[in-house]
Amino acid sequence: MAKYRIAWLPGDGVGNDVMDAARLVLDALGLDAEYPHGDIGWEIWRHEGDPLPQRTLKLLGETDCALFGAITSKPKEEADEELDPELRGKGYVYFSPIVRLRQELNLHTNIRPCTGYPGNPLNYKDGIDLIVFRENSEGLYSGIEFYPLPQKLRDAYSDHPKMERFARFANEDIAISTRLMTREGCERIVRNAFEYAKKFNRRSVTVVDKPNVLRETGGLMVRTARKVAKDYPNIPLWETNIDAQCMWLVKNPLDYDILVAENMFGDIISDLAAQLVGGLGFAASGNIGDNYAVFEPTHGSAPKYAGQYKVNPMAMLLTAKMMLDWLGEKDKADRLEAAIARVIAEGKVRTYDMGGSNTSLDVANAVVKYVIE
Ligand code: IPM
Ligand code: MG
């Protein structure tokens, strides 16, 4: 029996291409693992009315962790239209399977490192080294949404003075998405950010929210962060607003180190941070829970490139590196990262986004060469 069982979830579009690239590298590293395949994504939705079927959840329960490629996510109406005709009108509702995975498996901590590897022509500036800790299980992504506004809720809200301005609108003309945040969720994500900062000697932790306007949820986040920070007297806590932080990241990206935010703001800031170090082709991430984790590159499924082995697999390879670290395979993780850094620095094998014409698999093979050296 292999040492690890890793659920293999290519998903949609280029997910498959980059997963093939990852496999070349994992095999070259000699990781003692088996990779049972799991169905997830758009095609499964179209034919079964559920993009994350029970059998896949069961598989995850029988594995150590999962590696995930990419997923196509579309708004509700478009998802309905693409469902097989015989499934339409039967009450199937599309909800992003990756968001579901994060919530159903309580993968509360999304870690998104954004490292500007030397020699990457896409680096915005040299020396950028950011890590986004994104709360992954609550916030605006909770999925507690209403349209039309149920009368019961309307009644409950009616005491709120700010509701007065909306009194003239019918329930059918109001939609609500709830930003639900808990003290536990805020504390956990901030503590995980500080623990990481302590372990890896990072310079600072910046909590990013908008407490001047979102006074209750943002306020809870910032107050909780201040309290947690007291346990880490050697690591400064900075507090910023999401809008200003976006500007400052572009202006002074070297000033920041670890950024911690609730789900939606973490989503936004992690795309921005990724672009500073070469774009989504370099953005790795790990959805980490207490006993399970799903590793995924941040990029989407880029359907127009599906099957062409054109996209940059670096994000996926860096994601595999995160997985190796999480499994405790530090030596393999370090070897992989060093090989990736070397391929980037040499600049000989590059996908189109970096100005080259190599395939995803060419890049993986270039990494393999240094991994086995
Ligand atoms: C991400 C993506 C997802 C998200 C989408 C695909 C649902 O943007 O992982 O950042 O919003 O979390
Ligand atoms: Mg995103």
180-229 confidence digits (pLDDT tens)? 999 999 999 999 999 999 999 999 999 999 999 999 999 999 999 999 99
Q: What is the Cα–Cα distance from 17 to 352, expressed in whole angstroms?
A: 15
Does residue 298's CB lie within 6 angstroms of at least one atom of ligand 1? Answer: yes
| Confidence bin at 17 (pLDDT 50/70/90) | very high
Ligand nearest to the CA of 136: 1
| Confidence bin at 76 (pLDDT 50/70/90) | confident
pLDDT over 90 at 38, yes or no? yes
For 124-142+180-276, CATH number? 3.40.50
Answer whether 261's CB lies under 8 Å from 242's CB.
yes
| Confidence bin at 75 (pLDDT 50/70/90) | confident
DSSP string, 137-186: SSBGGG--EESSPPHHHHHHHTTSGGGGGGTTS-GGG--EE--B--HHHH
Q: What is the pLDDT of residue 74?
A: 86
Could you tell which of 98, 177, 296 is best to mutate to test the pocket of ligand 1, judged by most ligand atoms within 8 Å of the CB?
Answer: 98
CA dihedral (272, 274, 275, 278) in degrees, to 10, reads 170
Q: Looking at this protein, which amino acid is placed at residue 367? A: V
Number of the ligand 1 atom closest to the C-alpha atom of 285: 9
Q: What is the pLDDT of residue 253?
A: 98
Residue of the nearest CA to atom 4 in ligand 1?
Answer: 267
Q: What is the pLDDT of residue 373?
A: 85
Q: Looking at this protein, which amino acid is placed at residue 198? A: K
Q: Looking at this protein, which amino acid is placed at residue 346? A: E
Ligand nearest to the CA of 271: 2
CA of 237 to the centre of ligand 1 (A): 27
Q: What is the pLDDT of residue 283?
A: 97
Does residue 267's CB lie within 6 angstroms of at least one atom of ligand 1? Answer: yes
Residue of the nearest CA to atom 2 in ligand 1?
Answer: 298
**Homologous superfamily assigned to 1-108+286-373:** Isopropylmalate Dehydrogenase (3.40.718.10)
Instruction: Express each pLDDT in 140-157 by its tens digit.
Output: 999 999 999 999 999 999
Percent of the chain residues topping a pLDDT of 90: 95
pLDDT over 90 at 77, yes or no? no
Instruction: Express each pLDDT in 159-170 by its tens digit.
Output: 999 999 999 999
The owner of tokens 């070897």 is 335
Q: What is the pLDDT of residue 154?
A: 96
Between 96-100, 125-129, 255-259, the lowest mean confidence (pLDDT) is in: 96-100
Residue of the nearest CA to atom 1 in ligand 1?
Answer: 298
Instruction: Express each pLDDT in 320-358 by its tens digit.
Output: 999 999 999 999 999 999 999 999 999 999 999 999 999
Does residue 98's CB lie within 6 angstroms of at least one atom of ligand 1? Answer: yes
The residue ranges of every structural domain in the chain are: 1-108+286-373, 124-142+180-276, 144-177
Q: What is the mean pLDDT of the chain?
A: 97
Does residue 283's CB lie within 6 angstroms of at least one atom of ligand 1? Answer: no
Between 14-18, 116-120, 158-162, 354-358, the lowest mean confidence (pLDDT) is in: 158-162
Between 224-228, 234-238, 297-301, the lowest mean confidence (pLDDT) is in: 297-301
Number of the ligand 1 atom closest to the C-alpha atom of 270: 10
Ligand nearest to the CA of 263: 1
Instruction: Express each pLDDT in 239-271 by its tens digit.
Output: 999 999 999 999 999 999 999 999 999 999 999
Which residues lie closer than 8 Å to 189 by C-beta, 6 or more apart?
108, 109, 133, 134, 135, 260, 262
Ligand nearest to the CA of 139: 1
pLDDT over 90 at 118, yes or no? yes
